[in-house]
Structure 1
Amino acid sequence: MGSPLRNVSRVRWGELRDATGAAAGAVPTLLSRIAYGDEDTARVAIDDLGDAICALGFVVAEATAPTVPFLLELAGSPHVACKAELLDLLGRICRTDQWHSAAAATRDRAHDASYRQQTGWEAAARTAVHAGRSVIEGVASSVRPEEATPAQKLLQMMDETPPFPEL
């Protein structure tokens, strides 16, 4: 396995917005803290990253989908702490439907079109989580229950979370 996060610099984080509306330039640093920090550092970084890419646990943004492959990479890495927290964040991202719900509630109204971009972010984020199924299955087969159990729960949730309908 290569070094974790070697492709993180290929993403133009400064051009993406996080869930707070700020530039997503802090995402690589937070990912690095998760990858290379001790357990306490990783836990704080996961919490901060969650605020940035899945605000309030249910609002994703433009930077969310590009972050998911790195979360999956970290979750599948044997030396990363806090896998349960990473899997929980991936689950929150996958379950998110805030923008789709808002768009559905405004269907046939003038401002329905204003949700198109945000619903695209949700769809892309959910698709990115589903694309990492093999990584999550690998963690689910771990002999460590503190890793396997949250991964199994995420797989079940993914099975119960259908793709978004076309709006």
Structure 2
Amino acid sequence: MGSLLKGMTRVPWGDLGGAQGSARDIPGLLSRIAYGDETVARMAIDELSECVCALGFVLGDATAPTVPFLIELAGAPGVPCKAELLDLLESIYRTDQWHVAAAAAGGPRRKGYKDQPGWEVASRAAVLAGRPVIEGLSDAVQPDVAEAAQALLRAFDEDLKFPEV
């Protein structure tokens, strides 16, 4: 591993779950995004999206720990597919699936929704913590990157609320 993703080894990936199973593949996917060419990075982002934000709206407990690395990659020079990374971050930020499901089931303690709403809160906070990087990308030379960063900043400004659980 190069200078990117240095803190990745401190995360207990094997103890975390992705949106659809184990989070063990996340470090490899992040590395492929960081050090692969555009084709490799795009494929890794697609796989990673299913791990951390399946179907564009289902998070796992590995999502929040993954977000700082996504932000790091989006802000790093030479990393391809920045717009796709920003789109993934926006999906993570907007997700409220577990809150909606817990509210419909009568609250987080009923029907087994004890931890999942917290995953959304932690993930949204992690994305919001990357705001300075995202603001820096909002005037990127590449129009797709600038547009994706601006869309995420608009989401921040919408003051999204979680449904009451």
Same fold (TM over 0.5): yes
Matching residue of 1:94? 93
- Flag structure 2 segments of 5+ consecutive residues without an equivalent: none
- Taking a change above 3 Å as real, the CA distance of residues 69 and 163 of structure 1, as seen in their structure-2 partners, is farther
Equivalent of 1:157 in 143, 155, 161: 155
Q: Counterpart of 1:3 in structure 2: which amino acid?
A: S
Contact persistence 1:95–1:161 (CA under 8 A): no
- 1:111 maps to 110
Matches of 1:128 and 1:43 in 2, distance apart? 22
The residue aligned with 1:83 is 82
1:99-140 Cα offsets, whole Å, 9 max, x none, are 00011112269725x212000001111111011100100111
Match of 1:7 in 2: 7
Aligned length: 164
1:18-48 deviation digits (Å, cap 9, x = unpaired):
11122x1110000000000000000000000
Pick closer, same or farther for the CA change 1:108–1:137 going to 2, 3 Å. closer
- 8 Å CA contact 2:99–2:164 kept in 1: the answer is no
2:132 aligns with 134
**AA paired with 1:115?**
Y
**Runs of 4 or more above 6 Å deviation:** none
For 1:17 and 1:132, locate their aligned partners in 2 and report how far apart those are by CA, in whole Å: 23
In structure 2, the residue matched to 1:146 is 144
Q: Which runs of 5+ in 1 are unaligned?
A: none
Give CA-to-partner distance per residue, 1:131-153, whole Å, 9 cap, x none.
Answer: 11001001112222121111001
TM-score by length of 1: 0.92
Alignment TM-score, normalising by the size of structure 2: 0.93
- CA drift of 1:166 comes to 6.3
**Structure 2 SS opposite 1:55:** coil
* 1:30 to 1:109, Cα distance in 2 relative to 1, 3 A: closer
Partner Cα separation in structure 2 for residue 37 and residue 90 of structure 1: 20
Match of 1:41 in 2: 40
In the alignment, residue 58 of structure 1 is paired with which amino acid? Answer: F
Tell me the SS of whatever aligns to 2:140.
Answer: coil
